[in-house]
Amino acid sequence: MAEFEVRRSRTDQFYFVLQADNNEIVATSEMYTRKQSCLGGIDVVKRIEQTAMVNDTTG
Q: What is the C-alpha separation between 15 and 55, in angstroms, rounded? A: 25
Identify the pLDDT of residue 29. Answer: 98
CA distances from 26 to 4, 36, 40, 53 (A): 10, 22, 19, 17
User: Quick one: which of 25, 29, 27, 32 has its CA closest to 11?
Assistant: 32
Identify the pLDDT of residue 26. Answer: 95
Identify the pLDDT of residue 1. Answer: 87
- CATH superfamily of the domain spanning 3-48: YegP-like (3.30.160.160)
User: Quick one: which of 40, 56, 51, 50 has its CA closest to 6?
Assistant: 40
Identify the pLDDT of residue 50. Answer: 82
Q: What confidence tens digit (pLDDT) does each residue in 5-54 have? A: 999 999 999 999 999 999 999 999 999 999 999 999 999 999 998 899 99
Identify the pLDDT of residue 12. Answer: 98
Q: What is the C-alpha separation between 34 and 57, in angstroms, rounded? A: 33
